[in-house]
Amino acid sequence: MSDKKISSKRLKELERLESKMNALEAGGVDNWEWYQESLKGWFAENELDERLESLMSDLECAFGECAYEPSERGAGIAFDDSAGNAVMEVFKTHRVTFLDLLGDDE
In sequence order, the β-bridge partners of residue 78 are 68
pLDDT of residue 1: 47
What is the number of alpha carbons within 13 Å of residue 106 lying toward its C-beta? 6
* 49-66 confidence digits (pLDDT tens): 787 778 777 777 777 766
Instruction: Please list the helix, strand and coil fractions of the chain in percent, rounded to the nearest 5, in that order.
Output: 70, 5, 25
**What average pLDDT score do residues 81-88 get?**
71
Does the predicted TM-score (pTM) go above 0.75? no
Q: Domain-by-domain residue ranges, the chain?
A: 8-102
Contact 77/67 with Cβ under 8 angstroms? yes
With bands split at pLDDT 50, 70 and 90, how would you rate the model's confidence at 44? confident
